[in-house]
Amino acid sequence: NAGVTQTPKFRVLKTGQSMTLLCAQDMNHEYMYWYRQDPGMGLRLIHYSVGEGTTAKGEVPDGYNVSRLKKQNFLLGLESAAPSQTSVYFCASSYKASVYNEQFFGPGTRLTVL
Amino acid sequence: AQSVTQLGSHVSVSEGALVLLRCNYSSSVPPYLFWYVQYPNQGLQLLLKYTSAATLVKGINGFEAEFKKSETSFHLTKPSAHMSDAAEYFCAVSAYTGNQFYFGTGTSLTVIP
């Protein structure tokens, strides 16, 4: 049982390049989330998904797109990377729509945009 | 709307001393509160959660937190700090829409030998 995994672990991009971050979970969770973590700002929600084929915007969605074609996968895309998107990105998942269900986190992807 | 505030971005304690990490919440509905720990270069791991069953919540690694409605607080404590407790700690409150979590800005705990 791998839990939540993220690919890649590290990435360096040049301004304007695109990339996709992959999140996979093997816990059959309905809900999945993408966060970014920046110093002094905690974790901020980018987008989330309440089920296969559905996505919704979080607190800081601009510059990102997501897709949830399969229940176990949640992809985060950057179409034209900017230095302001340099951050650590975390994926998380939770069992279902319950306010007291914990979220399970992946190990993170460290992205640097030059 | 829900939010949490963590007072003190950095806390240092001596090994064996009491650990107290502060979290205050704001919520228009009964809150569900969580403490997560993040060790260097790792993801977040759940320490404990409050779901209204009991005001004093015990978690892993000897941590506990007490929900105080009158003070809108959910402070994290541990009687005796260990070197292995050095990490970043996040308080979070969950929302009713999409099970979204709102995280505090985090408190970095340093344990001095």
Contacts of B69 (CB under 8 A, 6+ apart): none
Looking at A33-42, B2-11, B39-48, B97-106, which range is the least confident one? B97-106
pLDDT tens per residue, range A95-113? 875 656 789 999 999 999 9
The verdict on a CB contact (< 8 Å) between A97 and B45 is no
pLDDT tens per residue, range A15-49? 999 999 999 999 999 999 999 999 888 899 999 99
Residue B29 binned pLDDT confidence (cut-offs 50, 70, 90) = confident
Provide, as residue numbers in chain B, all residues whose Cβ is less than 8 Å from the Cβ of A41.
105
pLDDT tens per residue, range B62-85? 999 999 989 999 999 999 999 999
The verdict on a CB contact (< 8 Å) between B51 and A108 is no
User: How far is Cα B92 from Cα A108, in angstroms, rounded to an integer?
Assistant: 18
Q: Which residues of A make CB contacts under 8 Å with B?
A: 4, 31, 33, 35, 40-45, 48, 50, 56, 58, 90, 92, 94, 96-108
The verdict on a CB contact (< 8 Å) between A31 and B99 is yes
pLDDT value at residue B68: 92
- Average pLDDT of the residues of chain B: 91
Residue B96, burial from CB neighbour count under 10 angstroms (0-12, 13-18, 19+): middle
User: How far is Cα B110 from Cα B15, in angstroms, rounded to an integer?
Assistant: 9
Provide, as residue numbers in chain A, all residues whose Cβ is less than 8 Å from the Cβ of B9.
40
Contact A10, A109 (CB under 8 A): yes
The verdict on a CB contact (< 8 Å) between B43 and A108 is yes
Provide, as residue numbers in chain A, all residues whose Cβ is less than 8 Å from the Cβ of B99.
31, 94, 96-99, 101, 103
pLDDT value at residue B1: 73
Percent of chain B with pLDDT strictly greater than 70: 96
Looking at A21-25, A101-105, B57-61, B87-91, which range is the least confident one? A101-105
Closest by CA position to B34, among listed B87, B91, B76: B91
Query: How close, in Å, is residue A2 to chain B by CA atoms?
Result: 13
